[in-house]
């Protein structure tokens, strides 16, 4: 179907090539998995296969790509290729062009010139297939990250192209949603579609994959069968020192005698009609490492926004270190609670890393030599000391995430809240992130991390709180959770990375 | 958060109109309001638009812009009064005897009239455009614009600009929260606004630019440039369409005949 022959590629202004002498054939009806670290050239390979490099981006291209026995460069641009190839990208927000979910899916169908009857049938089918029917009249910006990804996938599936390329398209989905995508892809494969899945975490799809391509620094390092790949156990496990297991739930029990750092009583929060938090009661003690689990939209982020006063309770109380958040200004609360959001790009704006950290310090009136010390200490901790004068947006995603943490820990809050600290990071990056989290705990910080990644929860959390539809449905120490979850992961093949 | 310029789901008579006739009516209103200098005609037009919004139950939507428009009008009227002298003098901004014997900054009827005309133009244009946007599904708006042979690139630009208004609002809010979490407190008033520009706008603009490539590719992949056919029968004309376009056309003819332009 798609054949790359000695394909090398260099982006316009770059000096070194992103892909080097790639020889790869994707057969008709095959489900190919492509994996590798960040900056291994995965996305570039996806763009190459779709013909985007030739027709849209340009740059230095060597070798050739054959699609359906024709050179891809000979096709009439993306106009013609888009009838055969569908592609879903990782940034879901940018793939939603219209103002409602139904329109989003429908507009693509209309472009293909389906008859009205056929159009309605496909629309209904795809919406049910991807479980987005209940969202049909919602506007894209009101959806959660996971919901957006499902809609973006639905809009592409609706087009019914022979080839489907997914570039990190499931990064923000929770276990259940990934499972759903898995069964969708399985059915598509059975229907004879050619599918390429590109992800730094392909474990969820090994079962239906035909071959696994391992990319490293722009070259194909190995092509394996999924079974071999599991045995080979990629970098996600091997080569990384297994962090010391936490002493399960010990500090949780011990903590109970101490004063709580966070105390939440009967907290209820509404967003218009939606009951985002429903009578939450919670106490978190000094030195704990708590994981806050739950599906997309279960209220996790809403809850943690109460910990530094970004949200004020509709009813109930949130007490942080003895301060009532409904009357204490955010600028005071941030001295006690450091909240790091999921997307570091939403906070980085300075020209150097040093200035970026200094911004927060200056805000709470730490200046001069005290600030310098705080900056160098925090950079030491996140392992970015050598990059003091680098432009923050030139860092890799993992480094930017760690910089975001550094910005917050420099302010020395006792409580650190991390919202999805490993989303978008590859195995190596997310491991160094988690080692940082453990280090912070050893330094005496209390840590709450919001996540849907069961693997890091199992490996690192001491106490696990699970939320569902705005309620806490489970609050346990790790040991019993880990034991029980082990079974359910095997049952459902949960997200691991 | 209140969203601006977004489609509102509904079934008013404006919703059931053909987007092409709505576009024609809005274009008519805009052309008329640019060419006429008669404040009565303009006032009637604004009144007509308001009545239409009342009928469709969308008056709240229009009135949300009132603060901005009133601010704009007051500034415009003040500007014309300060810069234009024609017609009878009604009085002086600074009365005679305060600084000069004859008073400074005379307020003339011509200036007032022109200021009012300028303001009403903005009212008519903004209100009619807003009614079009909030009552037409973006995909239908797109179809209509393509049907009247606006180049597809411009149509997509327009539709995407509308679509990303609330996304930018949401993202701006997120960035604001992320900076608040870093203890950022710009303070209130104009000074605060100026200080907040860099921490808020830099991430917002940088993120938006980063997004354009995926957005462009997605449109190509979904085949917006290679539309097979547009189902023309879905854009049906009905009585209201004829009435609306007719109304605007009649007003136009009336204006021309009576020589009010």
Whether residues B81 and B127 fall in one domain: yes
Q: What part of B 107-126 touches A (C-beta under 8 Å)?
A: none
Partner B contacted by A261 (CB < 8 A):
no
Predicted local confidence at residue A106, as pLDDT? 86
Q: Is residue B131 part of a domain?
A: yes
Whether residues B81 and B201 fall in one domain: no
Whether residues A227 and A275 fall in one domain: no
Q: Is residue B144 part of a domain?
A: no
Is the predicted pLDDT of residue B233 greater than 70, yes or no? no
Whether residues B51 and B71 fall in one domain: yes
Partner B contacted by A310 (CB < 8 A):
yes
Please list the residues that pair with B106 across neighbouring strands.
B92
Whether residues A481 and A335 fall in one domain: yes
Whether residues A254 and A217 fall in one domain: no
> What ipTM, to 2 d.p.?
0.75
Which residue, A200, A232, A264, sits at the end of a domain? A232
Predicted local confidence at residue A254, as pLDDT? 44
Whether residues B117 and B195 fall in one domain: no
Q: Is residue A239 part of a domain?
A: no
Predicted local confidence at residue A149, as pLDDT? 85
Residues of A in contact with B212 (CB under 8 A): 94
Whether residues A382 and A279 fall in one domain: yes
State the residue range of the domain holding A400: 250-492
Looking up residue A258, the CATH number of its domain turns out to be 3.40.50.300
Q: What part of B 133-152 touches A (C-beta under 8 Å)?
A: 137-139, 142
Residue A492: pLDDT band with limits 50, 70, 90: very low
Whether residues B88 and B176 fall in one domain: no
Encode pLDDT of A202-227 as tens digits: 888 888 999 999 998 889 998 988 88
Is the predicted pLDDT of residue A197 greater than 90, yes or no? yes
Q: Is residue B19 part of a domain?
A: yes
Whether residues A206 and A274 fall in one domain: no
Q: Dig out the tokens for A386 from the structure.
A: 């050598």
CB contact under 8 A, A411 and B183: yes
Q: Considering CB atoms only, which of A98, A159, A331 is closest to B139?
A: A98
Encode pLDDT of A475-490 as tens digits: 888 765 444 444 444 4
Partner A contacted by B153 (CB < 8 A):
no
Whether residues A347 and A467 fall in one domain: yes
Whether residues A264 and A404 fall in one domain: yes
Q: Is residue A244 part of a domain?
A: no
Whether residues A193 and A268 fall in one domain: no
Whether residues B236 and B219 fall in one domain: no
Whether residues A226 and A254 fall in one domain: no
CB contact under 8 A, A347 and B179: yes
Is the predicted pLDDT of residue B121 greater than 80, yes or no? yes
Whether residues B49 and B71 fall in one domain: yes
Q: What is the mean pLDDT of residues B124-131?
A: 90
Q: Dig out the tokens for B159 from the structure.
A: 């539709």
Whether residues A206 and A335 fall in one domain: no
Q: Which letter does DSSP use for residue B99 in this model?
A: S
Partner A contacted by B188 (CB < 8 A):
no
Residue in A with minimal Cα distance to B215: A94
Whether residues B157 and B57 fall in one domain: no
Q: Is residue B142 part of a domain?
A: no
Q: How far apart are CA B62 and CA B57, in angstroms?
A: 10
Residue A275: pLDDT band with limits 50, 70, 90: confident
State the residue range of the domain holding B40: 1-136+231-261
Give the whole-number percent of chain B exceeding pLDDT 90.
9
Partner A contacted by B258 (CB < 8 A):
no
Number of domains in chain A: 2
Q: Is residue A273 part of a domain?
A: yes
Residue in A with minimal Cα distance to B166: A141
Give the whole-number percent of chain B exceeding pLDDT 70.
92
Residues of B in contact with A51 (CB under 8 A): none
Q: What is the mean pLDDT of residues B18-40?
A: 89
Is the predicted pLDDT of residue A33 greater than 90, yes or no? yes
Whether residues B15 and B119 fall in one domain: yes
Q: Is residue A291 part of a domain?
A: yes
Is the predicted pLDDT of residue A252 greater than 70, yes or no? no
Encode pLDDT of A352-383 as tens digits: 899 999 998 988 888 888 889 889 988 988 88
Q: What part of A 142-161 touches B (C-beta under 8 Å)?
A: 152, 155-156, 159
CB contact under 8 A, A113 and B228: yes
Dump strand ranges (E) for A163-243. Answer: 163-167, 194-198, 211-216, 219-224
Radius of gyration of chain A (CA): 24
Residue A239: pLDDT band with limits 50, 70, 90: very low
Whether residues A257 and A219 fall in one domain: no
Whether residues B223 and B254 fall in one domain: no
Dihedral sign of CA atoms B50, B53, B55, B57 in order:
negative
Residues of A in contact with B153 (CB under 8 A): none
| Residues A75, A49 contacting (CB under 8 angstroms) | no
CB contact under 8 A, A56 and B163: no
CB contact under 8 A, A341 and B202: no
Whether residues B131 and B155 fall in one domain: no
Distance in Å, alpha carbon of B178 to nearest chain A alpha carbon: 6
Give the whole-number percent of chain A exceeding pLDDT 90.
22
CB contact under 8 A, B221 and A80: no
Partner A contacted by B198 (CB < 8 A):
yes
Q: Is residue A245 part of a domain?
A: no
Q: Which helix (H) or strand (E) holds A466?
A: strand A463-468
Number of domains in chain B: 2
Whether residues A279 and A187 fall in one domain: no
Predicted local confidence at residue B227, as pLDDT? 59
Predicted local confidence at residue A231, as pLDDT? 55
Number of Cβ within a 10 Å radius of residue A122: 21
């Amino acid at each position: 179907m798609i054949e790359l022959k000695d394909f090398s590629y260099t982006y316009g202004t770059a000096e070194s090539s992103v892909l080097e002498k790639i020889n790869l054939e994707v057969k008709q009806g095959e489900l190919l998995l492509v994996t590798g670290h960040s900056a291994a050239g995965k996305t570039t390979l996806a763009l190459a296969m779709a013909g985007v490099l030739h027709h849209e981006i340009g740059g230095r291209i060597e070798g050739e790509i054959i699609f359906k026995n024709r050179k891809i460069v000979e096709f009439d641009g993306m106009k013609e290729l888009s009838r055969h190839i569908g592609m879903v990208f990782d940034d879901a927000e940018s793939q939603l062009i219209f103002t409602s979910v139904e329109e989003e899916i429908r507009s693509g169908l209309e472009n293909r010139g389906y008859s009205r009857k056929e159009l309605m049938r496909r629309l209904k089918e795809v919406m049910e297939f991807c479980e987005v029917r209940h969202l049909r009249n919602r506007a894209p910006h009101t959806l959660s990250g996971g919901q957006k990804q499902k809609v973006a996938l639905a809009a592409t599936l609706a087009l019914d192209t022979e080839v489907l390329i997914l570039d990190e398209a499931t990064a923000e989905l929770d276990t259940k949603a990934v499972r759903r995508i898995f069964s969708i892809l399985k059915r598509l494969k059975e229907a004879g579609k050619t599918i390429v899945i590109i992800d730094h975490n392909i474990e969820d799809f090994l079962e239906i994959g035909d071959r696994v391509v391992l990319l490293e620094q722009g070259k194909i390092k190995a092509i394996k069968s999924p079974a071999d790949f599991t045995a080979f156990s990629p970098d996600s496990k091997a080569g990384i020192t297994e962090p010391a297991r936490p002493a399960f739930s010990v500090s949780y029990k011990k903590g109970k005698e101490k004063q709580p750092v966070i105390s939440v009583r009967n907290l209820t929060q509404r967003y218009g009609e939606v009951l985002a938090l429903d009578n939450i009661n919670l106490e978190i003690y000094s030195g704990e490492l708590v994981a806050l689990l739950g599906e997309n939209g279960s209220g996790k982020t809403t809850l943690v926004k109460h910990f530094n006063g970004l949200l004020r309770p509709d009813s109930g109380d949130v007490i942080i270190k003895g301060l009532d958040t409904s009357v204490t200004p955010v600028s005071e609360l941030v001295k006690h609670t450091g909240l790091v959001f999921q997307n570091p790009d939403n906070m980085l704006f300075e020209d150097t890393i040093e200035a970026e950290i200094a911004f927060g310090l200056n805000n709470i009136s730490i200046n001069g030599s005290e600030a310098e010390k705080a900056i160098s200490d925090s950079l030491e901790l996140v392992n970015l000391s050598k990059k003091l004068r680098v432009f923050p947006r030139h860092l890799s995603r993992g480094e930017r995430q760690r910089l975001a943490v550094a910005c917050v820990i420099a302010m020395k809050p006792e409580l650190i809240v991390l919202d999805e600290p490993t989303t978008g990071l590859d195995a190596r990056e997310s491991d160094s992130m988690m080692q940082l989290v453990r280090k912070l705990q050893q330094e005496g910080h209390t840590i709450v991390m919001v996540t849907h990644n069961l693997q890091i929860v199992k490996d690192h959390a001491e106490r696990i709180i699970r939320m569902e539809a705005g309620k806490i449905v489970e609050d346990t120490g790790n040991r019993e959770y880990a034991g029980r979850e082990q079974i359910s992961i095997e049952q459902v093949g949960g997200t691991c990375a | 958060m209140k969203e601006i310029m977004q489609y509102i789901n509904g079934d008013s008579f404006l919703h059931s109109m053909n987007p092409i006739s709505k576009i024609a009516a809005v274009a008519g209103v805009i052309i008329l309001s640019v060419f006429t200098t008669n404040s009565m005609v303009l006032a009637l037009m604004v009144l007509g638009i308001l009545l239409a919004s009342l009928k469709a139950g969308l008056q709240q939507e229009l009135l949300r812009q009132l603060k901005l428009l009133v601010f704009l009008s007051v500034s415009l009227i003040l500007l014309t009064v300060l810069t234009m002298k024609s017609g009878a003098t009604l009085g002086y901004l600074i009365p005679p005897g305060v600084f000069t014997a004859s008073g400074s900054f005379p307020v003339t009827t011509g200036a007032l009239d022109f200021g009012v005309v300028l303001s009403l133009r903005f009212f008519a244009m903004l209100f009619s455009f807003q009614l079009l946007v909030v009552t037409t599904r973006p995909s239908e708006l797109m179809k209509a614009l393509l049907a009247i042979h606006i180049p597809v690139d411009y149509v997509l630009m327009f539709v995407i600009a509308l679509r990303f208004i609330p996304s930018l609002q949401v993202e701006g809010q997120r960035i604001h929260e992320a900076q608040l979490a870093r203890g950022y407190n710009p303070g209130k008033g104009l000074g605060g606004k100026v200080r907040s520009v860099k921490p808020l706008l830099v991430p917002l603009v940088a993120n938006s630019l980063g997004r354009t490539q995926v957005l462009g590719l997605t449109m190509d992949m979904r085949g917006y440039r290679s539309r097979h056919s547009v189902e023309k029968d879905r854009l049906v004309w009905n009585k209201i369409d004829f009435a609306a376009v007719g109304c605007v056309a009649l007003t136009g003819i009336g204006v021309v005949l009576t020589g009010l332009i």
